[in-house]
Amino acid sequence: MAEPKARLRVFRGTEEAGDFQTYDVETYPGMVVLDAIHDIQAKQAPDLAVRWNCKAGRCGSCSAEINGKPRLLCMTRMSAFPEGEPITVTPMRAFPIIKDLVTDVSWNFEMAKKIPPFKPRPRDADGHWRMQQMDIDRIQEFRKCIECFLCQDVCHVVRDHQKKEAFSGPRFLIHLATLDMHPLDTLDRRDMIKQDFGVGYCNITKCCTEVCPEHITITDNGIIPLKERVADDHYDPVRWLLRKFTGNPRPNKVPAQPTEAGKTADLSGTHRVDGGHGNKGKP
Amino acid sequence: MAGNYETHEHDVIIIGAGGAGLRAAIEASSMGLSVGLVCKSLLGKAHTVMAEGGVAAALGNVEPKDNWKVHFRDTMKGGRYLNQWRMAQLHAMEAPDRVNELEEWGALFDRTPDGRILQRNFGGHKYPRLAHVGDRTGLEMIRTLQQHGIHTGMKVYMECTVTRLLKAGDAVSGAFGYWRESGRFVVFRAKAIVLATGGIGRAFKINSNSWECTGDGQALAYLAGAELMDMEFMQFHPTGMVWPPSVRGTLITEGVRGEGGTLRNKDQKRIMFDYIHPLYANETAPTEEEADRWLALSTSGQMDKNVRRTPDLLPRDIVARAIHAEVKAGRGSPHGGVFLDIATRRTAADIKRKLPAMYHQFKELGDVDITKEPMEVGPTAHYTMGGIRVDPETQQSRVKGLFAAGECAAGMHGANRLGGNSLSDLLVFGRIAGLHAGRYAKEQTNLPSLDAGEIQDASQEALAPFNRHEGPNPFQLHEELKDTMQTHVGIIRTEEDLSEGLRQLENLKERSRTIRIDGNRHYNSGWHETIDMRNLLIVSEAMARAALLRKESRGAHARDDFPETDKEHFAKVNIVSRLHGSTMEVAEIDLPPVPAEIKKVLEEE
Ligand SMILES: Cc1cc2nc3c(=O)[nH]c(=O)nc-3n(C[C@H](O)[C@H](O)[C@H](O)COP(=O)(O)OP(=O)(O)OC[C@H]3O[C@@H](n4cnc5c(N)ncnc54)[C@H](O)[C@@H]3O)c2cc1C
Ligand code: SF4
Ligand code: SF4
Ligand code: FES
């Protein structure tokens, strides 16, 4: 019994030049778009470039756009699309294309480096740290982030306005929120959140929350509270006074300095090195 | 054409950025050394992100009676006493510190009612011992190490694949590789190298592993003159998804059984009571009634010494073989597995809170609501107990300056790994490998010299497939390899099967030398697959040869023609494979003797 066929239109090419190629694949029960891409690789286009690791929605490698919507290739079932209509697969739009479905996401790694790391208060006398489950439920939600960068891809501040210098994007705002709400952490990163990571640019359209494959309520639970805390600090007169006299509105926290990060990793060897993707000639 | 490469110099190069590699890199960096961390994928994407159930450490937070000795005993017993005792001891002693350290670096484990790190039950662990974060412990671990690590000054080379180790005399001098993106070559010159490249699951058709698990580190070390050990011990995790076909093999965490899930056959009968191994008879509930009482007590945080645990939590080798036997006897589920039922055991709210990733995985990929229906499960190739033979104290291999840690190293787990003991293995031995590689590097006054001939050979080897005009497709060949391993070197083995498997591997090896590649070097998936094939073939051969030599059944290694565990001969040997000329030599070596004071620990209670 021949299985039904599906047709895919896949972007093939680089940042400089590219085109759509059409491929027909045989489908089977439960098939996901990544299976179809692998089938194309195995039988029709072995040099087709795609990132993936886990095929279980856990590593966040296989991000792309399917019919224009940012999604994980491995968590999108073929049966979700109307039969007979071609499925269009393109690389994430917010990042430079390396080849085919693979994009250069190194900007995200640079952002991560700028965030001053976790700095806990001392342990309790018996060597433990006590935290109630209730108090960490919310940040555990943020820590589900698989760094697929789909939220970064869909955020119009990053994507259309190209504010990559001034705005860290939703993924790193929730990372900052995690640190800010961590019961053990002692650093106050709020000045940085406003100035260096640009929380003010976010206008709460919630597009990021909609595409998050981990169903993290990025905006409501992460960014809005962060905005409130930053606003509190800067505009609340009581806090303002407290700040003026004590220099610190949150006595258990000390202001973070951008240099707090200390030595950071050199990720320059990652991409774009040595002409990067410019190597088009045969070996 | 070979002359074209860039060179980077470091004191220590770590190959692999999973839990083991990151922990090693953090340690070596903290010694003030220049450290390069190389990985095939992006940072934070390594296979370790997939780990679910937890990290084993005798913190004693839930059961105060727990301590390193109990953990050590459980580990040795799980490994059927073929573990390197010293590694199992170091592991059990140091795991709690490593878990606490993660918390210091920002990890957020689930909490006990009094606010400490919560621990859950897992197969083969006597007490609830696994620190966890729902069912995404690996992600928490790698994110923590990654975020801590990027502030330690190391240099990270992402999407960069090492294809050869380089040597100066009998010591390592560096590594040769290529950038995934451009296909260009890169040479790392270093005083010491740590391999932390993970497992080999992608040698099997049904497996739970990420694309990276192609045995690279094992093959790199083997080609450089190190030994592989215990390769016959391939763990088949009992519960992989069996339906739909597109996700066949994807793991269902043992945490499901830890939270009360039970295994049933098509007649709804609970199967595990028929498969209680004598080694575990004393501590396992023989009846459903007692098993259920145990569950009720353990999920409410109470313990009663007189109530024994459910056989659903027997070690993996036992459960995997039980499922295999049920299916073979015609009592399996519609798609060739058995049922794993949590729906009737816990409330929907509990399931969603305790096993959120499992809930979503089944909902989104299998269209199954696990709070209402049972899952269909079957064994899946999961973990390699075998790997690079290392010195238990330092993690150094037989090659000077070459260290290994994590899943690519052997010795810690013996014939069968207990769940949760891998994540702790990564932390404990990642640190030890980083520390000793660092010390070794400090002892070397100069960077070793590179051999131009070796570099030339490595680049020719890598480029060869581009120069052929005809030949098989690498993806097709990989499928054939997976079929061969699944059929002939799988969960139950015989001499006949293994010999046939070796014949087929030989044939595949020949054909792999003729693979042809289209396109150019720029992010070329087919080319990368070809390079992985060399490594997969080496580790597959080592596995089949060792399995042929071990004429007994023990742990993860089951021989239909030798169903008994041999207490005389094979109880006392490990099996190593090494390169001899151009062929693979397999040999038995004696297990290191267990000192009297350790014997005493093993015999206690
Ligand atoms: C689904 C699943 C669930 C699991 N759950 C648990 C659990 O709950 N508890 C537990 O203890 N264990 C669990 N395990 C096992 C555990 O996850 C692995 O054993 C462990 O993560 C291996 O870590 P590692 O650091 O050794 O290697 P990996 O995490 O596999 O990392 C390997 C690294 O090496 C790099 N690499 C490989 N080859 C090369 C090369 N040629 N050049 C450069 N870089 C290279 C890769 O890019 C990667 O960075 C689970 C495994 C699976 C599959
Ligand atoms: S809510 Fe904010 S961060 Fe999210 S997409 Fe909109 S602007 Fe971007
Ligand atoms: S927050 Fe969600 S969408 Fe954004 S990177 Fe993390 S998992 Fe992806
Ligand atoms: S491959 Fe890991 S998320 Fe898709």
Ligand 4 midpoint to CA B529 (Å): 18
Q: What is the mean pLDDT of residues B360-370?
A: 87
Query: What's the pLDDT score for residue B243?
Result: 85
The minimum CA-CA distance between A16 and chain B, rounded to whole Å, is 14
Query: What's the pLDDT score for residue A244?
Result: 63
State whether the beta carbon of A147 lies less than 6 angstroms from ligand 4.
no
Distance between CA atoms of residues B20 and B195, nearest Å: 9
Ligand 3 midpoint to CA B161 (Å): 27
Q: pLDDT tens digits for B42-62?
A: 999 999 999 988 999 999 999
Q: Is B237 a catalytic site residue? A: yes
Chain A residue closest in CA terms to B527: A47
Top pLDDT among A71 and A240 is at A71
Query: What's the pLDDT score for residue A186?
Result: 94
pLDDT exceeds cutoff 60 at B2: no
Of the listed ranges A241-250, B15-24, B206-215, B248-257, the least confidently predicted one is A241-250
Q: Is B516 a catalytic site residue? A: no
- Ligand 4: residue of A37, A62, A65, A212 to mutate (most ligand atoms within 8 A of CB) is A62
Query: What's the pLDDT score for residue A240?
Result: 63
Do the Cβ atoms of A52 and B211 come within 8 Å?
yes
In this structure, the strands spanning B155-157 and B338-341 are: unpaired
Chain B residue closest in CA terms to A42: B475
pLDDT exceeds cutoff 80 at A277: no
Cβ of B145: how many Cβ atoms within 10 Å? 28
Q: What is the mean pLDDT of residues B381-407?
A: 97
Q: What is the mean pLDDT of residues A224-247?
A: 73
pLDDT exceeds cutoff 90 at A51: yes
Query: What's the pLDDT score for residue B218?
Result: 98
A50 Cβ under 8 Å from any chain B Cβ: yes
3-state secondary structure at position A157: helix
Q: How confident is the model at residue A9 (pLDDT cuts 50, 70, 90)?
A: very high
Q: How confident is the model at residue B450 (pLDDT cuts 50, 70, 90)?
A: very high
Q: pLDDT tens digits for B539-583?
A: 999 999 999 999 999 999 999 999 999 999 999 999 999 999 999
- Ligand 1: residue of B99, B197, B428, B532 to mutate (most ligand atoms within 8 A of CB) is B197
Task: Kindly list the distances between the CA atom of residue B246 and the CA atoms of A28, A129, A144, B296, B367, in Å, as whole numbers in the listed order.
Answer: 8, 43, 24, 36, 13
Q: pLDDT tens digits for B132-143?
A: 998 899 999 999
Query: What's the pLDDT score for residue A264?
Result: 76
Q: What is the mean pLDDT of residues A109-131?
A: 93
ipTM: 0.91
Q: Per mean pLDDT, which of A254-263, B299-308, B462-471 is the most reliable?
A: B462-471
**Choice among B125, B237, B248, B488 that is catalytic:** B237
Do the Cβ atoms of A264 and B151 come within 8 Å?
yes
- Our measurement of the distance from residue A187's CA atom to the centroid of its chain's CA atoms, rounded to an integer in Å, reads 23
Closest by Cβ to A265, choosing from B8, B150, B523: B150
pLDDT exceeds cutoff 60 at A1: no
Query: What's the pLDDT score for residue A181?
Result: 94
Q: pLDDT tens digits for B229-246?
A: 999 999 999 999 998 888
State whether the beta carbon of A55 lies less than 6 angstroms from ligand 4.
yes
Task: Kindly list the distances between the CA atom of residue B457 and the CA atoms of B35, B169, B385, in Å, as whole numbers in the listed order.
Answer: 26, 17, 32
Query: What's the pLDDT score for residue B362?
Result: 87
Ligand 4 midpoint to CA A59 (Å): 5
pLDDT exceeds cutoff 80 at A242: no
State whether the beta carbon of A50 lies less than 6 angstroms from ligand 4.
no
State whether the beta carbon of A60 lies less than 6 angstroms from ligand 4.
yes
Distance between CA atoms of residues B465 and B513, nearest Å: 8
DSSP string, B341-356: E-TTTS-HHHHHHH-H
Q: How confident is the model at residue B172 (pLDDT cuts 50, 70, 90)?
A: very high
pTM of the model: 0.94
State whether the beta carbon of A12 lies less than 6 angstroms from ligand 3.
no
Instruction: Give me chain B's average pLDDT, please.
Output: 94
User: Mutation test of the interface with chain B: which of A270, A277, A282, choosing the one with the most B Cβ atoms within 10 A?
Assistant: A270
Q: How confident is the model at residue A236 (pLDDT cuts 50, 70, 90)?
A: low
Ligand 4 midpoint to CA A54 (Å): 5
Q: pLDDT tens digits for B89-135?
A: 999 999 999 999 999 999 999 999 999 999 999 889 999 999 999 88
Q: Which two tokens stand for residue B137?
A: 């412990």
Do the Cβ atoms of B133 and A140 come within 8 Å?
yes
